[in-house]
Structure 1
Amino acid sequence: MDAGAGPVAGDVGLHEIALLTNPTAGGGRGGRYRDAALQRLRDSGLVVRNLEGRDADEAADLARASVADGVEALVLCGGDGLVHLGVQAVAGTGVPLGIIPAGTGNDVARYLDLPRKDPVAAADRVVARRTRTLDLARSGSHWFVTVMAAGFDAIVNERANAMRWPRGQMRYNLATVAELRTFHPLPYTLDLDGATRRVDAMLVAVGNGPSFGGGLRITEGALLDDGLLDVVIIKEMSRAKLVRTYPKLFSGTHTTVAEYEHHRVRRVTVAAPGIVAYADGERFGELPLTVEAVPGALVALA
């Protein structure tokens, strides 16, 4: 189990569940994994509503309608984007969320130590009916599980999402190289549980959990059950040093660089000009944004 995962909360009774799939996740893995997981779930005796939206808006409507209609769990077959969508439907309701990982990054699945290459084994975690209670982060009525990126990393996401080629991690690598040519440190104003911090920085990340982007451990040490957010600031550094520091994000060893700063807070407001923040890899909103930790807001089947 990942060190950031929440405690085992016990068993939950399940009879009828919804299985919502993004069939294009992971270059088509979503559809294949759904078929394998669906068979296992039904063989176990569960009644499964097999759902698939034509786009993100319809998928969100299906998720909310299923929860409102009383399904006993919402199970998602896809990547972190679909998990982000599903969390909006179940946060604070007590309805358990299950995951059949089929995306590229699968950070939430990493948090929960779910099988990421075996959909039948992942479905077995749903069948086992064991749960963990996790914190979520909230800004207004919008929730996230992993990390809110609000700086250089968010700008890279904006560029990568506009690119049609290549697919997967290489697209983000190319977007990173392109943005490095013109990026300058940003003037941030932060409110950290009432304390003001003004700093020129490369990025600010707000973590509910420790990683995003397929294992980039930007908020290393963040716990999913401590009722706190981890705010990481990477202060001004040269482009060359930023390039050298980037690989350290995969191991969490960037915490040793002199420009690294870390705060644990219950509530943070992040302001910087011209930045659209991303959370769970999805477009989240323009800064300034206020984010708060909400303890125990998510029940996960794990």
Structure 2
Amino acid sequence: MVVPKREVALITNPAAGRGRSAGARDAAVNRLRSLGVRVRSLEGRDQVGATDVARAAVADGVDALVVCGGDGMVNVGLQAVAGTGTPLGIVPAGTGNDTARALGIPRDDPPAAADLVARGSIRIVDLAVTGGRYYSTVFAAGFDALVSERANRMHRLRGRARYHLATLVELRRVAPRSYTLDLDGRVVRTDAVLVAVGNGPSFGGGLRIAEGARLDDGMLDVVVIAPMSRAELVRAYPRLLDGSHTSLPQYTHHRARRVTVAAPGIVAYADGERFGPLPTTIEAAPGALAVLAPGGAA
């Protein structure tokens, strides 16, 4: 369906993408206003403040909430709109932009992303939820989480380069951990270097760890990588770029609607944001997000 856009709230993290979001915001606001859309341009100083601002705008009845930034800002938007019916628009301006990538939203063209908002075509997709907090891409709970933790401290790089370097640094101390997974009541105990729970296929700027995951199938894709040597991990890493790691003998894939992940010493990440230590339970939230994206019903 197409929802007329009388007024949207556009919220920006001015620090996203090393300041790129300010330019993207201005380009998107100008395009929206030229198309007759009224825009409330808002900012959040940090994630908590941005979430409060976003929730207030949705409660005030805007026709759509638009986030300008990276996957962290998308995550802010999810907390405000999930389950409300208020559609989310995305103007990518961050480091990874994996949610936009999965949805087919232009990642380097803010006016084109704004055109999707003005057009008003809504696509209904799934989210995942853990501890009352939603995510749209991948829950990282192993070596991938350690890389995210390291990458978030690397402020001088962006995009894939940031994750590549963080991976090389963390490889020096990679070690398998013992995991207990509960997959819709089926318990699996295994040693692994990486566990990921995907709602979407990629994280880290296009690393397709959960290759084959779909945003509209009501399921979570659980990827387990069995212990590998440092040399094997170095050789396997480039295969995440095209999803060909799925042919590795250490790769195992499960699908479930509800997943509990437990392991010592892991702080999990999702949408590039710190979610907290394991154990945690993740559930699929089918149809929880209305998003302004290509392929939406018109």
Q: Does 1:86 align with 2:77?
A: yes
**1:68-118 CA distance string (max 9 Å, x none):** 111110001111110011101111111000011111211111111111111
CA distance in 2, matches of 1:17, 1:44: 12
- Deviation of 1:175 after TM superposition, in Å, equals 2.3
**Which segment drifts farther, 272-281 or 25-34?**
25-34
| Contact 2:17-2:158 at 8 Å conserved across structures | no
Q: Does 1:215 align with 2:206?
A: yes
Q: Does 1:256 align with 2:247?
A: yes
TM-score (norm 2): 0.95
2:110 aligned partner, one-letter code: P
Matches within 5 A, 1:62-141: 62-141=53-132
Match of 2:173 in 1: 182
**Which segment drifts farther, 171-180 or 199-208?**
171-180
DSSP-derived class of the 1:108 partner: helix
- Show structure 1 runs of 4+ deviating over 6 A: none
CA distance in 2, matches of 1:167, 1:77: 16
- Deviation of 1:169 after TM superposition, in Å, equals 3.5
CA distance in 1, matches of 2:268, 2:9: 30
2:36 aligned partner, one-letter code: G
- Deviation of 1:171 after TM superposition, in Å, equals 3.4
CA distance in 2, matches of 1:104, 1:164: 10
CA distance in 2, matches of 1:43, 1:166: 34
| Contact 2:159-2:205 at 8 Å conserved across structures | no
CA distance in 1, matches of 2:156, 2:111: 31
CA distance in 2, matches of 1:254, 1:103: 26
DSSP-derived class of the 1:297 partner: strand
CA distance in 1, matches of 2:59, 2:192: 43
Match of 2:283 in 1: 292
TM-score (norm 1): 0.94
**1:109-163 CA distance string (max 9 Å, x none):** 1111111111111110011110100000001210000000000010111122234
- Deviation of 1:164 after TM superposition, in Å, equals 4.6
The number of residue pairs the alignment matches comes to 293
Q: Which residue of 269, 279, 287 maps to 2:260? A: 269
Match of 1:203 in 2: 194
1:288 aligned partner, one-letter code: P
Q: Does 1:11 align with 2:5?
A: no
| Contact 2:71-2:271 at 8 Å conserved across structures | yes
1:129 aligned partner, one-letter code: G
| Contact 2:128-2:285 at 8 Å conserved across structures | yes
CA distance in 2, matches of 1:168, 1:101: 12
1:155 aligned partner, one-letter code: L
Match of 2:296 in 1: none
Q: Any gaps of 5 or more consecutive residues in structure 1?
A: 1-9
- Deviation of 1:191 after TM superposition, in Å, equals 0.2
DSSP-derived class of the 1:274 partner: coil
2:180 aligned partner, one-letter code: T
CA distance in 2, matches of 1:234, 1:128: 42
Q: Which residue of 227, 232, 235 maps to 2:226? A: 235
RMSD: 1.2
Q: Any gaps of 5 or more consecutive residues in structure 2?
A: 294-298
2:246 aligned partner, one-letter code: T
- Deviation of 1:166 after TM superposition, in Å, equals 4.2
Match of 2:46 in 1: 55
CA distance in 2, matches of 1:125, 1:163: 32
